[in-house]
């Protein structure tokens, strides 16, 4: 996906008031010129969440979250930056150039509108007093109430080869349009409906827009579950069935239950287990795992307890672990699906089943021993090789180390040899290890960010408050004087915006920062500047303290160079460095850093 032009981002920001946006999600109360509320990102009784309408940023003094309109939407709805910009652009009426031509974008919109009409058509067929009676009875037997049926927008594709085709043509929709949407098939004897006598499950995106369909057979028709083909709007590996309905419950529970089928999702949701999703009847993909990581810290796999379910579980463990999620596996009885278990034993027993779910090590070692049961050295080594590739994907070094210890102990192998084999296992696992903090939550990553303190922090806050201060000070600084990399990046963005003649407001600065926690830091600094009296005097004091610190660093570096030259016996170089050191020590204008010459003689 191409980058969204900065001018478009600025226009979206200019047309969107942060108080209006946040007010759609939480009730705001006026607090002077600004607003306050109880933070939507952590539980609190006393409001500590502030919305600064002047600077168009928000900041919570309780949990430290903050940023601009895009940051809020990204964290509240778990969107990427481009997704947040596009969603706000739609609301603000700002057109975003795309890689596709205007005609292609229009085609996408037309396809989406068609899918919505078809979804409504299927819903009406299910509600038909006579034609939908059998399907409604089937849903009732399977434990899906009217409330859940409406929440998932379930429908019915009646019997007959051309029911949808004829209904669509009556409204002016062509066979070509239906074929592009994956709803009809062109055979040798003509076109016919893809879905016939099936209960229909609409597949929706995170904004609840219909992008495709899956159908469950209501008779002996094979396959039992039929998924629509991929289209310009729908790629199977990029969506999760039920996520639009489950995302709020997943965020609250910090856990997602991953099941195999559509019915599992619907029945569990109907029974009060709302944090459940399904990978659309196909194997879980890395993209689906990353999508789930936006909302959850933990995933519980609740696949069928058969050979196919075991394979799906093992693959799911690998992908979910690699995405940074903690993973557990629910132990369902052999031959019992999650929805069957819930209907048979009730919600309380099902939640107990989830609470007792096994950790990945137990699942992996049991699988390995079942595949290599011999007990001899070769069988134990082969069993270890089943487990090691997954352990290599675990982001936490402490967990990996503990798994190595447990594996060596369980299989009676040398722990050092197991650790050595782990280092050679799965290259993707090694990449995950190098990623460092890939498994940390956003809050943990923000907490791990070194706090920017002292004069650099206050100076950056005052520059965000008044960008002209950076260049009009009595002794202007350079970016090289700023040691903290996060603060230096913020100041660099301010300089870039000023040089381009653009407004360097905190909201605009935050929009151009990509590192985790930087937008929150901007909001934090805005609040610091707001509470600082005598801003210009404070700024000049910061400048003097930063320049003094820079001078101290320069002198320390020169002392190290002098010592190195003395130890090397380069007397001419020592004399040159001593003269430069004395020049700097007497308070003369700052010199460029002195580099020792290779030959030890003065150039």
Cα(299)–Cα(246) distance, integer angstroms: 13
Cα–Cα distance for residue pair 262/531, rounded to 1 Å: 53
- Name the average pLDDT for the chain: 84
User: If you average pLDDT over residues 158-179, what whole number do you get?
Assistant: 90
Residue with tokens 């799911």: 316
- For 243-356, give the CATH class: alpha beta
pLDDT in tens, 386-408: 999 999 888 777 888 899 999 99
Instruction: Look up the CATH superfamily of 102-234.
Output: DNA primase, catalytic core, N-terminal domain (3.90.980.10)
Work out the end-to-end distance of the chain between its first and last CA atoms, rounded to an integer number of angstroms: 53
Cβ 276 vs Cβ 269: under 8 Å: yes
pLDDT at 150: 96
**DSSP per-residue string spanning 308-319:** HHHHHHHHHHHH
Of 202, 215, 211, nearest in space to 242 by CA:
202
Using alpha carbons only, give the angle 294, 298, 301 rounded to the nearest 5 degrees: 110
Contact between 292 and 254 under an 8 Å Cβ cutoff? The reply is no
Concatenated DSSP letters of 390-436 = HHTT-S-HHHHHHHHHHHHHHHT--HHHHHHHHHHS-HHHHHHHHTS
Note the pLDDT of residue 263.
92
Say how far apart CA 336 and CA 588 lie, in whole Å: 82
pLDDT of residue 432: 37
The whole-angstrom separation of Cα 72 and Cα 41 is 10
Q: Over 80: is that where the pLDDT of 367 sits?
A: yes
Choice among 110-124, 483-497, 570-584 with the minimum mean pLDDT: 570-584
Confidence of residue 372 (pLDDT cuts 50, 70, 90): very high
Beta bridge partners of 234: 231
Q: How far apart are CA 361 and CA 2, in angstroms?
A: 41
Find the length of the chain. 603
Return d(Cα 357, Cα 338) in angstroms, integer: 13
pLDDT of residue 113: 92
| Statement: residue 175 has pLDDT above 60 | yes
Look at strands 326-329 and 298-301 and give their pairing.
parallel
CATH topology of domain 6-92: DNA Primase; Chain A (3.90.580)
Helix (H, G, I), strand (E, B) or coil at 57: strand
Rounded Cα–Cα distance for residues 50 and 32 (Å)? 11
C-alpha–C-alpha distance, residues 557 and 591, integer Å: 12
Most confident of 12-16, 354-358, 544-548: 354-358
Domain ranges of the chain: 6-92, 102-234, 243-356, 363-444
């Amino acid at each position: 996906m191409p980058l969204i032009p900065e001018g478009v981002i600025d226009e979206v920001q200019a047309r969107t008031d942060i108080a209006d946006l946040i007010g759609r999600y939480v009730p705001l109360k006026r607090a002077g010129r600004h607003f306050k509320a109880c933070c939507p990102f952590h539980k609190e009784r006393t409001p500590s969440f502030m919305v600064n309408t002047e600077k168009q940023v928000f900041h919570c003094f309780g949990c430290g979250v903050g940023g601009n309109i895009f940051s809020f939407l990204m964290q509240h709805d778990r969107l990427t930056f481009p997704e947040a910009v596009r969603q706000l652009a739609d609301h603000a009426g700002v057109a975003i150039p795309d890689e596709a031509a205007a005609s292609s974008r229009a085609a996408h919109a037309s396809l989406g509108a068609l899918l919505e009409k078809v979804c409504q058509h299927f819903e009406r067929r299910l509600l038909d007093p006579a034609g939908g009676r059998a399907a409604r009875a089937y849903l009732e037997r399977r434990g899906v109430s009217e409330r859940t049926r409406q929440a998932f927008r379930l429908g019915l594709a009646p019997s007959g080869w051309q029911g949808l085709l004829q209904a669509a043509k009556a409204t002016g929709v062509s066979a070509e349009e239906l074929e592009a949407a994956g709803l009809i098939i062109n055979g040798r004897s003509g076109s016919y409906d893809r879905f016939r006598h099936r209960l229909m499950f609409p597949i929706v995106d995170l904004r609840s827009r219909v992008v495709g369909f899956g159908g469950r057979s209501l008779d002996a028709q094979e396959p039992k579950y039929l998924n629509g083909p991929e289209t310009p709007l729908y790629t199977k590996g990029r969506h999760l069935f039920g996520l639009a309905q489950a995302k709020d419950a997943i965020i609250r529970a910090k856990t997602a239950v991953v099941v195999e089928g559509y019915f599992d999702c619907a029945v569990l949701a109907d029974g009060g287990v709302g944090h459940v999703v399904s990978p659309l009847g196909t194997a879980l993909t890395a993209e689906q795992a990353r999508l789930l990581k936006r909302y959850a810290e933990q995933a519980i796999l609740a696949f069928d307890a058969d050979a196919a379910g075991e394979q799906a579980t093992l693959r799911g463990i690998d992908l979910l672990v690699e995405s940074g999620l903690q993973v557990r596996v629910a132990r369902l009885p052999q031959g019992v699906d999650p929805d069957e278990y819930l209907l048979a034993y009730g919600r309380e027993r099902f939640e107990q089943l989830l609470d007792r779910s096994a950790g990945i090590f137990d699942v992996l070692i049991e699988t390995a021993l079942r595949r290599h049961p011999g007990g001899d050295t070769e069988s134990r080594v082969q069993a270890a090789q089943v487990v090691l590739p997954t352990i290599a994907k675990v982001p936490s070094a402490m967990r990996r180390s503990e798994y190595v210890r447990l594996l060596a102990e369980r299989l009676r192998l040398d722990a050092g040899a197991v650790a050595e084999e782990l280092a050679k296992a799965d290259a993707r696992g090694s990449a995950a290890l190098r990623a460092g903090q890939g498994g940390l939550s956003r809050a943990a990553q923000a907490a791990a960010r070194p706090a920017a303190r002292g004069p650099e922090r206050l100076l950056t806050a005052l520059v965000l408050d008044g960008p002209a201060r950076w260049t009009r000070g009595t002794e202007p600084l350079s970016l090289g004087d700023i040691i903290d990399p996060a603060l230096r990046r913020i100041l660099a963005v301010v300089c870039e915006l000023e040089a381009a003649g653009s407004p360097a407001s905190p909201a605009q600065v935050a929009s151009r920062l990509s590192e985790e926690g930087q937008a929150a830091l901007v909001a934090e600094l805005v609040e610091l500047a707001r509470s600082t009296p005598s801003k210009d005097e404070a700024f000049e004091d910061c400048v003097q303290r930063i320049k003094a610190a820079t001078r101290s660093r320069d002198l320390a570096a020169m002392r190290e160079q002098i010592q190195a030259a003395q130890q090397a016996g380069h007397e001419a170089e020592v004399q040159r460095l001593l003269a430069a050191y004395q020049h700097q020590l007497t308070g003369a204008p700052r010199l460029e850093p002195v580099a020792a010459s290779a030959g030890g003689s003065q150039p």
